[in-house]
Amino acid sequence: MTFLNDKCQELREYIFLTIANNFTRLKILDPYRYLIYKLSGISINGKADIFGPLTIRPIGKASNIEVGMGTFLNTDIRFGCPKHKVIIGKNCQIGPRVCFETVNHGHIYEKDKGRGMNTNPIIIEDEVWIGCGAIILSGVRIGKGSIIAAGSVVNKSVPKQTIFGGVPAKKLKDL
């Protein structure tokens, strides 16, 4: 029965994600797009502004994404979340082309096994601003009120009320 439930979730996600990602971009309709994303299986706790399109990999894992009330997700955001969640708090601002990748691979290639895979959740606390094109990697927690500069690669957790930027992201200053 689990297999059938998984397939139903994949189909539901595929249908509603496709509709939401192609929902007409009219200002009058923007406040309602989040409802269609919610039907795809994403947990959205209250009203959120989601411009889309969103990419979710693998298909069927929309339930691994949680978005808080008042959060804004800009265009072309990618969620790689096969096993662990990406949790985005309340009143966050996520810029265009931000990637959330809960998967990391090992450094050593083993014949017939590959590099292996480990996954950890990503947690974005309330009131965080993530700039355009940033990449948030497996196991990262970004503290309340922090800012991530555009184009940054965040590979370690960020304390609250700080600005991080660069590749890899480093502390630039306290807020």
Catalytic residue numbers read: 105
Positive or negative CA dihedral for 15, 18, 19, 20?
positive
Nearest to 131 by CA among 85, 102, 93: 93
Contact 143, 137 (CB under 8 A): no
Q: How is residue 138 annotated by DSSP?
A: T
Nearest to 103 by CA among 62, 154, 71, 137: 137
Backbone torsion region of residue 90, taken as left when φ is above 0, otherwise alpha when ψ lies between -120 and 50, otherwise beta: beta
